[in-house]
Structure 1
Amino acid sequence: MNVSKTTLLLIFFIFSLTSYGQVNNKSALSLEQIMKGNDFVGHLPEQISWSDDSKSIYFNWNPDRETLSSRYKVDINTKTIKKLTPNELISETNRGTYSSDYQWKVYEKNGDIFFMNTKNYSTTQVTNTLNYESNPIFSGDEKYIVFQSNTNIFKWNIKTGTTTQLTNFINGKEEEKEKRLSIQNQWLENQQLENFEVLAERKNKQKASEYRKELLRVKRPLSIYLEGKRLRGLKISPDLNYVVYNLIRPAKNENTKVPNFVTQSGYTKSINARPKVGIKQATSETWIYNIQKDTVYQVTTDSIEGIFDKPAYLKDYTPKDSIFNPKYKNPRNVTIGSPIFSKDNKAVVNITSQDYKDRWIMNLELSSGKLKLIDRQHDDAWIGGPEVGWFSPGRIEWIDENRIWFKSEKTGYAHIYIANVNTGEIKTLTSGNYEVLETKLSKDRKSFYLITNKVSPFEKHFYHVSIKTGKMTQITHLKGGHEVTLSPDEKQLAIRYSNNTTPWELYLMPNKPNAKMVQLTQSTTEEFKNYSWKQPEIIHFKSRDGAKVPATLLKPTADKNNGAAVIFVHGAGYLQNVHYWWSSYFREYMFHNMLVDNGYTVLAIDFRASSGYGRDWRTSIYRHMGGKDLDDQIDGAKYLTKNQGINKDQIGIYGGSYGGFITLMAMFKYPDTFKSGAALRSVADWSNYNHGYTAPILNTPVNDSIAYHRSSPIKFAEGLKGNLLILHGMVDTNVHFQDVVQLSQRLIELKKENWEMAVFPVENHGFVEASSWQDEYRRIFKLFQETLTK
């Protein structure tokens, strides 16, 4: 009988799924409880919003553990909570745009446009079509509501109810009205017209008729043909005279395939997933349509400061005895964001380079398409930070007709800057060794409402800051994390608050310093509250390069201490896990409580690249993932042996996604530091991962092969000595199952024996099924019990 390679591979994975026996657990917590997730903890309030009259708070909740969460409403006066009926759900308004006096609001819901009077909350439905209408705004004179339908812009006259189409973008290419004649045929036609008067007269009559029709033709918007490009970022100026839009030419790339073996049909299905890093990037053009002149013209970028600059890392690939040329012949590809308009029709744009090294904020002259620099932010690594770039798109907003605000990491931390677009003067509004995380301009445009970690990197608080004086006033004070949603009248705060041991709940608070926070929801289960959750201690240890690395420490009582320790590595790379609020890794936190009950010490590190600590902390992994971020794990292990009395031969490590990657690197590059490790949904080769995340950090494999070689675990697999457990979902469309399949083949070829793989056939990157979570962590617990305890 012939056995295919695929069948053999499946047999291999089936063997790897062999069930482990239950390992003795001394904790009052069980893995079955913990891995139920929210069914054990409680379903917490989410997606907070306010009613338009500022009298009610809406939120998603599931206190009764139903199949799906439902929408709830709490009256802020009576504190009464009720579940919304289907009719109430339909009538709930979405966020929208207000008129300058805040008397009127326009918003989109279910693909239609609505217009509301905020004095009596009466609503007019502007559109009711099968097309999808979106992005409604008021015109500058507030006589019209302007909205987008499919790929075109329309205006609705508030007084008359008349709808007018302002643009006419058409997919495809413009067909020639008359086919061009060959030189021979054109000569013949000219001769016929010259020889026969009747033919010449008929042609003249035809031209006269066409001219008269053109004179009588109702004016319509210019037909603009997209010619196979995709229309994006469609915006119109407040005076309705200029339309700015982007045309995207997609790049042709090969996508990856993720096979799904467990399907309802019984057939293996192939999921069309994302391409890999290093793919060709789409190119973008920005154009302006002048409605009054019925003309279009392109915004050119070759005059932008630094547009020809090469990235510094290319010096490493300059041949010896050659001089590095720091300039390209052609301008770098950039993306011009949608314009942000002032009330008097000035426009500014956010421009980012495709190599992630630059961000420009520029004036855009609408009448000519010319650009003028306001601010340039450059980083030899990559531009990022909260509301600056990368995971958080750069924000810009007008304060008045002359000034804009934006965020920059110029000082190493994300702060607010105010620029005068006329004079070019830029002033700093906030400063210090902390991050401004979220920013909202007040209605009167005299102050900002902020979320910052000014108190410490481990707390998030709400502030007011005066634009005139820069004075900051702290509003919230409870130790922990505050997620704030401001009421429309700006008098009340709906707050999701939590601390280390208490999950997120909904609170109400007046928008005043030191006002009392009133708890509105009670979400945690009795089962969850019956356990005494341990308060993590936040510590710092010194790394080999002198940096103070933050971490949380959980320690067992002296009578239970088994001399072993586990280091947990968080995922995403750019994420924070050392803090005083309820962790997004709440299952892991509960598992760590169970480990402590069983005598383990648990250290969780905010290693280099974690968020919340500024630019230099983030970019310290540039061109070397598994460099300083891995050093921090090794130095953390040294801290445990030196300061916490841990046996150097009883240290394990585990983590998922980026944490799984670090676990692999730790087991391969520092085999004498960790006795065992569990790598969950881990990246084994960065050249397999996606472009948007990987290219800013490592550039591209073709252009920066050095970075990929020293950052990919598969290159170091030969170093494995300890006990490695690999766990991965087979339908992972983020970190593909292919990564660990390739790694397993490498380990086989290296004749490594002390490793196991467990696969989860129905799980994507983020596990969903409680049974999968439980099986996964049962294996991890068994690994540590069998290899770290004596």
Structure 2
Amino acid sequence: MRQLLFAGLAALAALPAAAMSPAAPGGQLDLETIMANPDWIGAAVESPYWSVDGHSLYYSLKRDGSKVRDLYRVDPATGQSVKLDPAAMAQAEGPAVFDRSHRHAAYIFHGDVFMQDLATGRRVQVTQTPESESSPRFSSDGRSLQFRMGINWFVYNLASGATAPAATLRFADDPQAKKHNDLERDQLALFKSLRENKADKDAQRTRDDELIAADAGRAPKPIYLGESGEPADTELSPDGRWMLVVTKPKGSKGGKRPEITHYVTESGYAEQQETRSYVGRDDPAPQSLVLVDLKAATFYPLKTDGLPGIKDDPLKDIRAKTIAALQKDGKDDEAKALKAPDLRAVRIVSNADDGGGGGIAWSDDGQNVAIQLRAIDNKDRWIASVDFDKHALVPQHRLTDHAWINWNFNDFGWLKDGRTLWYLSEETGYSQLYTKSLAGKAKALTSGKFEVSHPVLSEDGQWFYVRTNQVAPYSYDVYRVPAAGGELARVTQYQGMDDFALSPDGRKLAVLHSSPYVLAQLAVQDAAGGTPRELTNTMKPEFTAHQWLQPQIVPVASSHGAGTIWAKYYGPSDAGTTASRPAVIFVHGAGYLQNVTLSYSNYFREQMFHNLLVQQGYVVLDIDYRASEGYGRDWRTAIYRQMGHPELEDLLDGKAWLVKNRGVDPRRVGIYGGSYGGFMTLMALLRAPGEFAAGSALRPVTDWTSYNHEYTSNILNDPQLDPEAYAASSPIMYADKLQDPLLMQHGLIDDNVVASDTVRMYQRFIELHKNNFWMSLYPMERHGFVHPDSWHDEYRRIDELFNTYVKPVKQ
């Protein structure tokens, strides 16, 4: 490893250094400035929420020179903000929930539960524990406050002030329900003392049951759910009658986990750390549902065999082909392991922000519950209600996809009537909002070729507020639509809206918004629309004084029938002024991520680097290739079983656009990106040799069989089942095609894409006797770099690579 590290650093160090100019406001940029600690830019407003009375807003700001976040309170009427000192924070509030009569509010603050009387303002601290509580919720009758600690639920009685567990569940067989075998019966028949002992135990148990039944102040007796499973999650009904328990097989173990080595440590010794397991080596444990009647102390398994399509095999054709190939090679045991199950395994979808529940949504009155289940093969998502009399799931909605169900757009819940479901679904090809009564048909509240997300139902139940990009794929704002159906109306006019929060009375909207060079800022406006009041300005003058180059959002026509590929262009608009210029194409990471928006980018350093490249004579194109977020289901799933293929077509179309519309020299185009962008840089150089003058792949996946299960199996299935998809999608399989200069860069303690991906590719190039490839490793960095020195060194090398191999005019 050390020899590879030094060899890569020494080889790249031989490249000539790029000229840099000292930074000046509005003047020349340099790498020292743009890769410095981003505190010089400012701080984004984070996590805004309303006070209990709706008269103030709270938000967080990162402290300069520290990861610590300070809490601020702002008056929406005047815009006056104050940073809360420790004494003031002791009296602060958290995001609140309210009882149905709006007499009380509850919230979590510093991990504890608080309750407040809205008439008097009296505040009660319900818990004071070293653990972190979550999910506060008032009971349907308003007499108690429910909350969870881990997966266990507790109930605080408002009248008595007592807190008790909602249930005591035991994952074991009930010792009192055990039937005696013949030997035990003989023992009792023979020995009087044993009979007397048993009679004493039986009498005490009967007495305890009588006391618990007569005294609500006693802790509930244990409910035994059997030995076959162990708990994964629980959800208590608001009326306290029922509990849904998500279980998984007892003792389920994951696959072997690769380790990473920390070479630079406080101890002075190299230290090992386990990371995540590989795809196909640690399939998620299947989950089951148990309905527990807390009043009767009984439980009922909820079977999934009635879910539509649960017995189908969506991978039937791929499975048959792989099994036949294994049998042909005499690998019968491996072939048998791929046999389709009679009933597909499921897991409960989680969409909760606080870590609790999420896949289970109770109506406010506790009379109905909806459960969202997802097939482990990622092809189906179901929403089901529960028939409490029959103790059975009742299917309400099925979303199926031959590729994979989206990670996003899985929000669901109940209207205020407690009898009508609402949910998001991609069934039309775009995420839209629907409602459905339990016995009726679904009704679309929104429709169109745009994405709907972040649905929030107003407290009065009259409106849904949502985030959409209806105007253009890259433009996001808040809209609202009547819960009963009607017009989808635009509420904000930012085009770069990032998040929002409704006031407790539903009359005001707090909005987080940003733009390409302005971090997220907070504003407030009427919930029905109107002129906003800006409440924050956290940008630093050193940053805002510079004349930053605004990205131009441009449409690139797909030459493969995919439609419009949206991109951000940095450089002069006139092709005459860009004629024969070199160009760089930037490839964003994450695969399913949208970078072509009018908001502040996660890639703000790269955006500043693009300004520097333009200053040095380049033009830059940043493309939302296929698989990017924001463009609908077909755009997302185009890469199914062929990662790196449709995306490369889009990148090449971007290059052709630069040549045709900006006069770029086709021989002088570089490419770079990190994570998925690093993967795509490799695919571009290896599957289209000669198209790019040079490329830099940062923290790239080089072999998808070594990435994690949750992401990879959605797109490529399991590697044992679909080896063709992995072979087609992994850059290491194309290593023999390398001919253009390549720089690979990776953090050594990356626990997302482990550095062995880059090292293995480097070794492959060595064995293939390739030239002009280098590796740069960073001992103190994970997947996302955090040290300015590393950022500077990484981009210095990219800059030098491009200035050496892309910028010169080739003879």
Given the two structures, how large is their TM-score scaled by the length of structure 1? 0.91
Inter-CA distance 469–336: structure 2 relative to 1 (3 Å threshold)? closer
Task: Name the counterpart of 1:659.
Answer: 677
Deviation at 1:494, TM superposition (A): 2.3
* 2:519 aligned counterpart, secondary structure: coil
Q: Does 1:339 align with 2:351?
A: no
Task: Name the counterpart of 1:516.
Answer: 531
Task: Name the counterpart of 1:257.
Answer: 259
Q: Identify which of 277, 282, 285 aligns with 1:282.
A: 285
Matched letter for residue 204 of structure 2: K
Task: Name the counterpart of 1:348.
Answer: 370
Task: Name the counterpart of 1:416.
Answer: 433
Q: Identify which of 541, 544, 550 aligns with 2:566.
A: 550
Task: Name the counterpart of 1:391.
Answer: none
* 1:727 aligned counterpart, secondary structure: strand
Deviation at 1:660, TM superposition (A): 0.3
Aligned residues: 768
Q: Please say if residues 462 and 482 of structure 1, whose CA atoms lie closer than 8 Å, have aligned partners that are also in contact.
A: no
- Where do 1:95-114 residues align within 5 Å? 95-114=95-114
Matched letter for residue 553 of structure 1: Y
Separation of aligned partners in 1, 2:782 and 2:764 = 23
* 1:460 aligned counterpart, secondary structure: strand
Task: Name the counterpart of 1:266.
Answer: 268
Q: Identify which of 278, 293, 297 aligns with 1:294.
A: 297
Inter-CA distance 92–753: structure 2 relative to 1 (3 Å threshold)? same
* 2:418 aligned counterpart, secondary structure: coil
Separation of aligned partners in 2, 1:172 and 1:211 = 20
* 2:470 aligned counterpart, secondary structure: coil
Separation of aligned partners in 2, 1:750 and 1:124 = 70
- Where do 1:278-427 residues align within 5 Å? 278=280, 279-312=282-315, 314-315=317-318, 317-318=320-321, 328-336=340-348, 338-342=359-363, 343=365, 345-384=367-406, 386-388=408-410, 394-421=411-438, 423-427=439-443
Task: Name the counterpart of 2:61.
Answer: 61
Q: Please say if residues 37 and 587 of structure 1, whose CA atoms lie closer than 8 Å, have aligned partners that are also in contact.
A: no
Deviation at 1:303, TM superposition (A): 2.1
Deviation at 1:628, TM superposition (A): 0.4
Which range moves more in the overlay, 566-575 or 101-110?
A: 101-110
Deviation at 1:72, TM superposition (A): 1.7
| Superimposed CA distance per residue, residues 723-762 of structure 1 (whole angstroms, 9 cap, x where no aligned partner) | 1011111000000001001000000001011111111110
Task: Name the counterpart of 1:718.
Answer: 736
Q: Please say if residues 558 and 565 of structure 2, whose CA atoms lie closer than 8 Å, have aligned partners that are also in contact.
A: yes
Separation of aligned partners in 2, 1:226 and 1:24 = 71
| Superimposed CA distance per residue, residues 163-220 of structure 1 (whole angstroms, 9 cap, x where no aligned partner) | 343311246776799997785x865775x46xxxxx4xx5655554444333322334
Which range moves more in the overlay, 741-750 or 466-475?
A: 466-475
Separation of aligned partners in 1, 2:73 and 2:593 = 32
| Superimposed CA distance per residue, residues 594-643 of structure 1 (whole angstroms, 9 cap, x where no aligned partner) | 11111111111110010011111101111110110111111211222222
Q: Does 1:24 align with 2:39?
A: no
Q: Please say if residues 540 and 549 of structure 1, whose CA atoms lie closer than 8 Å, have aligned partners that are also in contact.
A: yes
| Superimposed CA distance per residue, residues 341-361 of structure 1 (whole angstroms, 9 cap, x where no aligned partner) | 221511221111111100111
Separation of aligned partners in 1, 2:201 and 2:324 = 69
Q: Identify which of 589, 595, 604 aligns with 1:586.
A: 604
Deviation at 1:320, TM superposition (A): 7.6
Matched letter for residue 379 of structure 1: D
Task: Name the counterpart of 2:115.
Answer: 115
- Where do 1:595-606 residues align within 5 Å? 595-606=613-624
Separation of aligned partners in 1, 2:204 and 2:63 = 68
Separation of aligned partners in 2, 1:62 and 1:177 = 57
* 1:283 aligned counterpart, secondary structure: coil
Unaligned ranges ≥5, structure 2? 22-26, 213-219, 328-335, 350-358
Separation of aligned partners in 1, 2:781 and 2:201 = 65
Deviation at 1:79, TM superposition (A): 1.9
Inter-CA distance 228–783: structure 2 relative to 1 (3 Å threshold)? farther
Q: Please say if residues 652 and 676 of structure 1, whose CA atoms lie closer than 8 Å, have aligned partners that are also in contact.
A: yes
Deviation at 1:40, TM superposition (A): 2.9
Matched letter for residue 630 of structure 1: L
Task: Name the counterpart of 1:640.
Answer: 658
| Superimposed CA distance per residue, residues 224-258 of structure 1 (whole angstroms, 9 cap, x where no aligned partner) | 36758542331122332211111223333211111
Q: Please say if residues 359 and 376 of structure 1, whose CA atoms lie closer than 8 Å, have aligned partners that are also in contact.
A: yes
Inter-CA distance 165–595: structure 2 relative to 1 (3 Å threshold)? closer
Task: Name the counterpart of 1:777.
Answer: 795
Matched letter for residue 285 of structure 1: S
Separation of aligned partners in 2, 1:538 and 1:676 = 25
Task: Name the counterpart of 2:643.
Answer: 625
Inter-CA distance 146–189: structure 2 relative to 1 (3 Å threshold)? closer
Deviation at 1:288, TM superposition (A): 1.6
Task: Name the counterpart of 2:551.
Answer: 536
Matched letter for residue 330 of structure 1: D
Q: Does 1:475 align with 2:491?
A: yes
Separation of aligned partners in 2, 1:355 and 1:310 = 9
* 2:18 aligned counterpart, secondary structure: coil
Q: Please say if residues 458 and 502 of structure 2, whose CA atoms lie closer than 8 Å, have aligned partners that are also in contact.
A: no
Task: Provide the aligned C-alpha RMSD in A.
Answer: 2.8
Task: Name the counterpart of 2:231.
Answer: 231
Which range moves more in the overlay, 364-373 or 150-159?
A: 150-159
Separation of aligned partners in 1, 2:433 and 2:362 = 19
Which range moves more in the overlay, 519-528 or 257-266?
A: 519-528
Task: Name the counterpart of 2:157.
Answer: 157
Inter-CA distance 788–368: structure 2 relative to 1 (3 Å threshold)? same
Inter-CA distance 775–366: structure 2 relative to 1 (3 Å threshold)? same
Task: Name the counterpart of 1:433.
Answer: 449
Deviation at 1:721, TM superposition (A): 0.9
Q: Identify which of 686, 692, 715 aligns with 1:668.
A: 686
Separation of aligned partners in 1, 2:72 and 2:652 = 47
| Superimposed CA distance per residue, residues 141-181 of structure 1 (whole angstroms, 9 cap, x where no aligned partner) | 11122233455433222122233433112467767999977
Inter-CA distance 147–679: structure 2 relative to 1 (3 Å threshold)? same
Deviation at 1:25, TM superposition (A): 3.7
Task: Name the counterpart of 2:332.
Answer: none
Inter-CA distance 502–129: structure 2 relative to 1 (3 Å threshold)? closer
Deviation at 1:506, TM superposition (A): 2.2
Task: Name the counterpart of 2:142.
Answer: 142
Q: Does 1:731 align with 2:749?
A: yes
* 2:689 aligned counterpart, secondary structure: coil
Percent identity, aligned pairs only, is 35
* 1:453 aligned counterpart, secondary structure: strand
Q: Please say if residues 561 and 599 of structure 1, whose CA atoms lie closer than 8 Å, have aligned partners that are also in contact.
A: no
Matched letter for residue 481 of structure 1: M
Given the two structures, how large is their TM-score scaled by the length of structure 2? 0.89
Separation of aligned partners in 2, 1:8 and 1:580 = 45
Deviation at 1:42, TM superposition (A): 1.5
* 1:503 aligned counterpart, secondary structure: strand
Deviation at 1:511, TM superposition (A): 2.3
Q: Identify which of 504, 511, 522 aligns with 1:488.
A: 504
Inter-CA distance 17–60: structure 2 relative to 1 (3 Å threshold)? farther
Unaligned ranges ≥5, structure 1? 1-5, 194-198, 389-393
Inter-CA distance 214–405: structure 2 relative to 1 (3 Å threshold)? same
Q: Please say if residues 412 and 421 of structure 2, whose CA atoms lie closer than 8 Å, have aligned partners that are also in contact.
A: no
